[in-house]
Amino acid sequence: MDWRARGLCLRRDPDLFFPIGSVNSGPVAFQTDEAKAVCRRCPVTEQCLAWAVDAGPVEGIWGGTTEGERRAMQRRAARESAATETAA
């Protein structure tokens, strides 16, 4: 079975996972937190996050992260990889 068919987001309004506006402002922050709460209970969060990271820049909440959080994760991974290569 495809991991996407088991996502809890399928039972929610898709707009919840695509907040419009600044993440640090009232309603958008609330919506983001609500979407992340769904992700925290979801059985396929890890697969969802891995897909979003592999797919590149995708908008919305995927695997319990925002696009900005995923970019930060990728930058950290790139720095760690560069540091490992330099140390070798």
Is 23 labeled as ligand-binding?
no
Is 39 labeled as ligand-binding?
yes
Residue 41, H or E segment? helix 26-41
Is 63 labeled as ligand-binding?
no
- By CB atoms closer than 10 A (0-12, 13-18, 19+), residue 81 is exposed
Is 81 labeled as ligand-binding?
no
Is residue 47 within 8 Å of residue 39, measured between CB atoms?
no
Please report, in range form, the residues annotated as the binding site: 9, 39, 42, 48
Please report, in range form, the residues annotated as the binding site for [4Fe-4S] cluster: 9, 39, 42, 48
